[in-house]
């Protein structure tokens, strides 16, 4: 299994509070991604990174920000959580050659 972890694995928070999710890899892969999974939508791209300090938006980036100060860590921040951000969040990593993407175990977030 690819060395990719996510923390926390589960979180309950209240509307309006900031939340940060962490993705950590030990594979030294260049590309890192944050997706959210919702019923009927599959997985949708929130943000991605193609190198340290190099990030860009995906299709559902509103209300989210990211940072990547080290190759191994990619942080996803909800500045002010809303109920619509209740979801399961998956991090993925990939090399430049992108033979495949490896997914983390997911973080289940509930915003009350």
Q: For binding to another protein (CB under 8 A), which residues are involved?
A: 31, 33, 35, 40-45, 48, 50, 56, 58, 90, 92, 94, 98, 100-101, 103-106
Query: Is 14 or 56 the residue whose CB approaches another protein more closely?
Result: 56
Q: How far is the CB of 112 from another protein (least distance, A)?
A: 22
Contact of 91 with 101, CB cutoff 8 Å: no
- Rounded distance between C-alpha atoms, residue 52 and residue 60, angstroms: 22
- Rounded distance between C-alpha atoms, residue 28 and residue 24, angstroms: 10
Q: How far is the CB of 16 from another protein (least distance, A)?
A: 29
Q: Rounded to 5 degrees, what angle do the CA atoms 102, 59, 13 make? A: 75
Q: How far is the CB of 80 from another protein (least distance, A)?
A: 26
């Amino acid at each position: 299994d690819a060395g990719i972890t996510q923390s926390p694995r589960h979180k309950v928070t209240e509307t309006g509070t900031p939340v940060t999710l962490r993705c950590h890899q030990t594979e030294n892969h260049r590309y890192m991604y944050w997706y959210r999974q919702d019923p009927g939508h599959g997985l949708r791209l929130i943000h991605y990174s193609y190198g340290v300090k190099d990030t860009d938006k995906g299709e559902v980036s509103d209300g989210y920000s990211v940072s990547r100060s080290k190759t191994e860590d990619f942080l996803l921040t909800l500045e002010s959580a809303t109920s619509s951000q209740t979801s399961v969040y998956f991090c993925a990593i990939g090399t430049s050659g992108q033979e495949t993407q490896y997914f983390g175990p997911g973080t289940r977030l509930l915003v009350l």
